[in-house]
Structure 1
Amino acid sequence: MSNAVVLTDFGAPEVLRWQQVALPEPGPGQIRLKVAAAGVGPTDLAIRSGHLRAFGAAPGGVLGFEAAGTVDMVGPGVTGVSAGDEVAAQLLSLGGYAESAIADIWTVKPAGVSWEDAAALPASAEAAVRVLDEVQLESGQTLVLYGGGGSVGIIATQLAIARGARVLSVVRGHDEQLVRELGAEPVILSATVRADAAVDAAGTGVLPHALAAVGDPRRVVTLADPRAAEFGVRLSGPRPDAAPAALAETMQMLASGRLQLRAHRTLPLREAAEAHRQLEAGIREKLILIP
């Protein structure tokens, strides 16, 4: 047996409860981690509340898309990693809010990368790489990014600028200096902007603005707005085929100092409900759960 924060129902943070659960077993192509740190993100909140049900989470399950830890078991067919290796992982079937978790996609954690940074990277980095590919962003083009001060937005900004793009970042006042330091141009939501592509990393009803800015729904992507189909745009989800390369690339950038992550703070794993409350209250840091 093991312990985890279980989603007992959809609703307020109180539905997240510390419980004893069966120790998960890795299937073909999977590994099991002894979790050292797990990331908490806005999508977790949307799933917990019942607002977003696109990722298969259900009462009785465990939230968490990203974790870092030590491998303690490998499933059939797994090569290149063994028990005792330290990795950062993306959890396609969720489960990061736990002492042990099953991972589908992972990369080795370099010794110079902290557990907290390793846990903060996987889901955000994979999403940032993915959405830039989906909107077909190229050098010389302009991207308008909603939620540029968030975990995905910070990484997407740096990757877009590295591609040679101009980034217009729609952020609140307290994030203006941050996005400037990353090389983007802060703009306000009500501003009239024109861009070649748009990424909604906020999920807060900005799709009409994004469409007005770009004019082509094929070049607009949202990460968390379930109304995407109403606007004819893509609700982006993890791509297992491309995720390993995205995670490996961004981990090396992080280890070499070429990638900056959102500032973070830690909470004990059993206080995941409190982490959700703090995010809903507007905390600016990334939250990391520590078993």
Structure 2
Amino acid sequence: MKAVGVGMFGGPEALQMYDLAEPHAGPGQVRIRVHAASVNPGDRYVRNGALGRIGGSPPYIPGMEAAGVIDEIGEATSSELRIGDRVMAATMPTVPGGGAYAQYLCLPADWVTRAPAGMSHAQAATLPMNGLTSRQALDLLGLSAGQTLAVTGSAGLIGGYVIQMAKADGLTVAVDAAPADEELVRSLGADLIVPRGSHFGRRVRQAVPNGVDGIVDTAGLISAAVAPAVRDGGSIATLLGDSLHSISAAEQRLRSLTLHAVYVPDYLGDPAKLTRLRLQAEAGELTPRIAQIFPAERARDAHLLMEASGARGRLVLEF
């Protein structure tokens, strides 16, 4: 099979196309003939060696979400999935055979669900890991309908999913956005927009004097700069756990803040959460956004563009 990976860690130029032996579904697994794999910021950490040697021998294959068609079901696999089903899946490159940049992907059946009806493989490939990340962030905050949420990085794909999920949950949503992105985030459901910049917390607090009930920081801002937006007794969820260390223990106690680091592997293997993403996408509550599609052979170009940032949607590789 064709796969994109690295034999030696490095920048985008380290990515190579490999011919590897086809994997086959083992007990409890299904095999996906992958047609599309999204390019996520975390994929660089497989490529550049930040995760170290992630198991087995090189090449190391990045990729955390894919879409395609079931073409093999392993023995003793209990699942409603059938050969020929169009599916999407979240995965981790740190598990054996787990990287999604490959023509075939064998995963536990619980990591896979049917793709949303009417969506292309490329669109479906942006949902599983990004959607689970967004869902987990909101679940950690535990807000109720009628409460107020602030979101950083709202124009990014995860930020957009957080906005849409929050609106479906009945929350009022405040976001930051550059002028060029205001129309986009409004279309996703944002109720209040403040200028993008380093004073996010102060600007939100000016617009919401009592403070918001919770914050999802998808932009990886320093939490000490975000915290002023949230009321005393509120909570913050961030995709970059290290940023939470910028809030002192004394401030946490004084303001009764609850801090959460999103760790999406905790949600793998929960088919109900994947199914919920599919149903919300079919209902129009979640809108996949693709910035650009590349053939797998141009994975280097996709990583170069990903590292330049600014994409208002996901880059996708097609196999």
TM-score normalised by the chain length of structure 1: 0.88
DSSP 3-state at the match of 1:8: coil
Q: Is the contact between residue 47 and residue 60 of structure 2 (CA under 8 Å) also seen in structure 1? A: no
- Note closer, same or farther for the CA distance 1:277–1:217 as it changes in structure 2 (3 Å cut): farther
Provide the rounded CA distance (Å) in 1 between the counterparts of 2:263 and 2:55.
14
- For the 8 Å contact 1:211–1:217, the answer to whether it is kept is no
Aligned to 2:6: 7
Query: Which amino acid letter does the alignment assign opposite residue 104 of structure 2?
Result: S
Residue equivalent to 2:263: 237
Aligned to 2:217: 200
Q: Using the alignment, how far apart are the partners of 2:298 and 2:138 within structure 1?
A: 34
Greater displacement, 168-177 / 241-250: 241-250
Q: 1:284 aligns with which of 290, 312, 318?
A: 312
What's the counterpart of residue 212 of structure 1? Answer: 228
Percent pairwise identity: 33
Consecutive unaligned residues of structure 1, counting only runs of 5 or more, are none
Over aligned residue pairs, what C-alpha RMSD do you find? 2.7
- CA deviations on 1:191-248 (whole Å, 9 max, x unpaired) are 4123211112123x33222233226798222224544456574331222367422221
Deviation at 1:9, TM superposition (A): 3.7
* Counterpart secondary structure, 1:196: strand
2:293 and 2:317 in contact (8 A); partners too: yes
Are the structure 2 counterparts of residues 131 and 83 from structure 1 closer, same or farther at C-alpha, using a change threshold of 3 Å? same
2:153 is the alignment partner of 1:127: no
Q: Could you say which residue in structure 2 is the equivalent of 1:20? A: 19
Distance in 2 between residues matched to 1:50 and 1:103, nearest whole Å:
23
Change (3 A) 1:54 1:221: farther
CA contact (8 A) 1:197 1:219 kept: yes
| Structure 1 pair 133–97 and aligned structure 2 pair: CA distance change class (3 A) | same
**3-state DSSP of counterpart to 1:80:** coil
Q: Does 1:152 align with 2:158?
A: yes
Cα offset, 1:269, TM superposition: 0.9
How many residues in Structure 1 have an aligned counterpart in Structure 2?
288
Identify which range, 185-194 or 118-127, moves more after superposition.
185-194
Secondary structure of the structure 2 residue equivalent to 1:120: coil
Write the distance in 2 (CA, Å) between the matches of 1:207 and 1:9. Answer: 34
Q: Does 1:95 align with 2:99?
A: yes
| Structure 1 residues 186 and 44, CA gap change in structure 2 (3 angstroms) | farther
Q: Partners of 1:120 and 1:55 in 2: how far apart?
A: 26
CA–CA distance in 1 between the matches of 2:231 and 2:269?
28
Q: 1:236 to 1:218 in 2, by over 3 A?
A: farther
Secondary structure, aligned partner of 1:155: helix
Structure 1 residue aligned with 2:193? 186
Task: Tell me the alpha carbon deviations over residues 147-193 of structure 1, each in whole angstroms, 9 at most, x when there is no partner.
Answer: 11111111110110111111111233322211112221222231412
Q: Distance in 1 between matches of 2:184 and 2:55?
A: 33
Deviation at 1:66, TM superposition (A): 0.7
Question: In the alignment, what sits opposite 1:269?
Answer: 296
Counterpart of 1:235, as a letter, is: A
Give distance in 2, aligned partners of 1:226 and 1:54: 19
- Corresponding position: 1:73 with 2:72: yes
Residue 124 (structure 2) pairs with residue 108 (structure 1) = no
Q: Call closer, same or farther: CA 1:228–1:26 in 2, change over 3 Å.
A: farther
Alignment match of 2:171 (pick from 165, 174, 180): 165
Distance 1:268 1:229, change over 3 A: same
State the distance in 2 between where 1:99 and 1:77 align. 24
**Normalized against structure 2, the TM-score is what?**
0.81
